[in-house]
């Protein structure tokens, strides 16, 4: 089971520092949600963890090794990343998109092995896309499209999957469709680390929550430890009431007004 950590990690865009000397250990085999207000650096942190951004200082470690030192194809077999609202090329089919997930497993003389075909079929089955395999991605609904991208990341067969706001632009039913899929994948053994906007979704679906403010971790732990009136006030600047969900017992945040 792979472990992904950040150690004294500082990230910046050009010269603007975003993440400041951050230490984080994501629990393996669990779902971690990064939450926080706009501009707090949660997407930047995710990009850093996925080696899409090079650290200015510090490092991201996979099983104790700095990810910058791991050959990029090797890393891509252990760590998958799905950016926020990716755009599929015009006319590309679900099958063609999902097959791209096999990229790190292939080379020029080995372009479609039996293992590739099996991984493709497995990813399509897990995301219940088998009936849409040969449809063009741009003709699918938002939820189906997001499932196709997740299927691509699944075909990559990594232990860890990073997702940046996988539910953006989806309506409620499609949001739950995607989140329930991620829970299913997690139960099959995948470590999931994602940025989420919706606190109640984070509380409901994630095992471990990390609240960020101004590029630093304000709080982390279970939903009961992180979704509290005090932390919501500090991190988001919002007065709220947190009550237990009448059915699940998970904390439910009811926002009242902005902090005066």
Partner 1 sequence: MSASPWIVVRANKFSIRMDRRIPFVLGGLLLAAFLVLILHVGIGEYNIAPLDVVNTLLGRELGDKNYHFVVMELRLPRAILAWLVGAALGASGAIIQGLTRNPLASPDLTGVTAGASAAAVTLIIFLPHAPDYWLPITAFGGGVFVALMLYLFAWRGGTSAGGDSPIRLILVGIGLSAALGAFTSFALTFGDLWHVQSAIMWLAGTVYATGWNDVSALLPWLIVCLPLALYGARDLNALNLGEDVAQGLGLRLILKRAFLLLLSVALAAITVTVAGIIGFVGLIAPHLARRLVGSMHEGLVPTAAFAGGFLVILADFVGRTISPPTEIPAGIVIAIIGVPFFLYLLWKREKA
Shortest Å, Cβ 138 to partner 1:
11
Supply the minimum distance, in Å, between the C-beta of residue 85 and partner 1. 7
Of the two residues 64 and 109, which places its CB atom closer to partner 1 in the complex? 109
Nearer to partner 1, 170 or 231 (CB): 170
| Nearer of residues 4 and 242 to partner 1, judged by Cβ | 4
CB of 51 to partner 1, least distance (A): 7
Cβ proximity to partner 1: between 65 and 256 the closer is: 65
Nearest approach, Cβ of residue 113 and partner 1 (Å): 5
- DSSP state letters, the chain: ---EEEEEEEEEETTEEEEEEEEEEEPTTSEEEEE-STTSSHHHHHHHHTTSS--SEEEEEETTEEGGGS-HHHHHTTEEEE-SS--PPTT-BHHHHHHGGGGGG-BTTBSS-HHHHHHHHHHHHHTT-GGGTTSBGGGS-HHHHHHHHHHHHHHT--SEEEEE-TTTT--HHHHHHHHHHHHHHHHTT-EEEEE-S-HHHHHHH-SEEEEEETTEEEEEESHHHHS-HHHHHHHH-EEEEEEE-TTT--EEEEEEEE--
Contacts with partner 1, residue ranges (CB under 8 A): 47, 50-52, 72-77, 79-93, 95-97, 100-101, 103-104, 106, 108-114, 116-117, 130-131, 133-134, 152-153, 156
């Amino acid at each position: 089971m792979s472990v992904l950590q950040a150690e004294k990690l500082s990230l910046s865009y050009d010269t603007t520092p975003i993440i400041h000397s951050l230490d984080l250990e994501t629990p393996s085999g669990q779902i971690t949600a990064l939450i926080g207000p706009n501009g707090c650096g949660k997407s930047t942190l995710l990009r850093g963890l996925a080696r899409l951004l090079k650290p200015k200082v510090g490092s991201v470690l996979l099983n104790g090794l700095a990810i910058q030192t791991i050959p990029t194809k090797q890393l891509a077999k252990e760590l998958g990343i799905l950016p926020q609202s990716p755009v599929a090329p015009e006319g590309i089919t679900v099958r063609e998109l999902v097959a791209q997930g096999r990229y790190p497993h292939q080379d020029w003389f080995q372009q479609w092995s039996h293992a590739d075909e099996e991984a493709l079929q497995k990813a399509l089955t897990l995301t219940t896309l088998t009936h849409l395999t040969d449809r063009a991605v741009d003709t699918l609904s938002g939820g189906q499209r997001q499932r196709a991208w997740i299927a691509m990341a699944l075909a990559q067969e990594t232990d860890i999957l990073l997702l940046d706001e996988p539910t953006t632009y989806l309506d409620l039913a499609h949001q739950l469709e995607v989140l329930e899929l991620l829970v299913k994948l997690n139960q099959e053994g995948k470590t999931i680390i994602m940025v989420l906007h919706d606190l109640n979704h984070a509380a409901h679906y994630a095992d471990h929550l990390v609240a960020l403010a101004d590029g630093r971790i304000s709080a982390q732990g279970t939903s009961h430890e992180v979704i509290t009136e005090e932390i919501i006030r500090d991190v988001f600047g919002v007065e709220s009431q947190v009550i237990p969900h009448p059915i699940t017992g998970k904390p439910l945040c009811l926002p009242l007004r902005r902090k005066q």
